[in-house]
Chain A
Amino acid sequence: MTSKTGAVISAAITLILFVGIPYMLPSYIPPGLAVQIEQSGFDLAGFINQIMIIGAVTAGFTLVGGFVDPSSVIALVVKIAQAGSSLVFMVLLLGAGNIAGLGYTQFDIAMQGAQSSIAMDLRVFVYISIGTILLKIVQVYLEWNEARIEAAPPGRIAP
């Protein structure tokens, strides 16, 4: 399987998982649960849109990454951007759509005669994700540097 075919398949899977399924999801949510989500003030439609945008961007990077020369600067930039979009996706998911919260989510629910303030702290997983993505970027750079050296003509050292 060539890298181009692999990229097309990966991009298609990414599109199905992070664009197709979220797009279909609202129609499968039971009405009772949908009302509860709405009452909680959680912007489900906005959250799904954010997931779909990140999914489409990631699929785009995957596709472009498979079609460019692995030793080119564009390949390096695309792979770093792909790692960055993975991080944004994780932060978005752990923060329930609130990127600025970096894994800390808080929302208020007003019911009949009661007010509830719910907070969830998953920041440690965001920090782990940041560490993982930084290591991934180092790996991408080292792989790109190796590809560049291999692609250089015999007897020449890659600049």
Chain B
Amino acid sequence: MQLVSTVALILGMHTMLGVFATALPSGEHEIDIQFTDPVIIPFTLTPTNNGYLEATMEVSVGMVIDGVKVASDSATITIPPGSIVPVELELSISQADAQEYFQEGIDLQWETYISVTTLYDLISFSNHMVIEGGAQ
């Protein structure tokens, strides 16, 4: 029983942390904001499961102005072992609101949440991040 649980722990951690690490954007990434009406802010993640167990990833992104969430999008995906499942999220804001939000002095924050569960949903790893992102 101890051996089985140790193997399960190693496999689970390998899958969980591997998916989480690849889901995070690395290096310099520019967000290609589409200034249409409504304004579209796209986010693309490419989580990769190099582990041996199926993983489920829940991801959400939100835009917070003065402590109020004004736009958000979320997705839940299942990533089989050895697969890459791209996730595309987008925030949609009316052009009038966008002009107001992207002004200097506005308290703008980006909120992201990534949760990875595996081993038949028995173990999980999550990260809730709040990034300051006002106009420069």
Q: Which residues of A come within 8 Å of B, CB atoms? A: 113-122, 124-125, 128-129, 131-132, 135
Residues on B with C-beta less than 8 A from A114 are 129-132
Q: Decide if A122 touches B127 in the complex (CB within 8 Å).
A: no
**Other than the known A113-B132, A122-B9, what 4 A-B pairs have Cβ atoms closer than 8 Å?**
A119-B124, A119-B128, A129-B5, A132-B5
Is B1 at the interface (CB under 8 A from chain A)?
A: yes
Q: Decide if A118 touches B127 in the complex (CB within 8 Å).
A: yes
Q: Decide if B5 touches A128 in the complex (CB within 8 Å).
A: yes
Q: Which residues of B come within 8 Å of A, CB atoms? A: 1-2, 5, 8-9, 119, 122-132
Known: A122-B123, A124-B123. A116 touches B128 (CB 8 A): yes
Q: What separation, in Å, do the CA atoms of A120 and B2 have in the docked complex?
A: 21
Closest to B130 in A: A115
Known: A122-B9, A124-B122, A125-B9. A117 touches B2 (CB 8 A): no
Q: Show 15 A/B contacts (Cβ-Cβ < 8 Å), sorted by A.
A: A114-B132, A115-B129, A116-B128, A116-B129, A117-B129, A118-B127, A120-B123, A120-B126, A121-B123, A121-B124, A121-B125, A125-B9, A131-B1, A132-B1, A132-B2
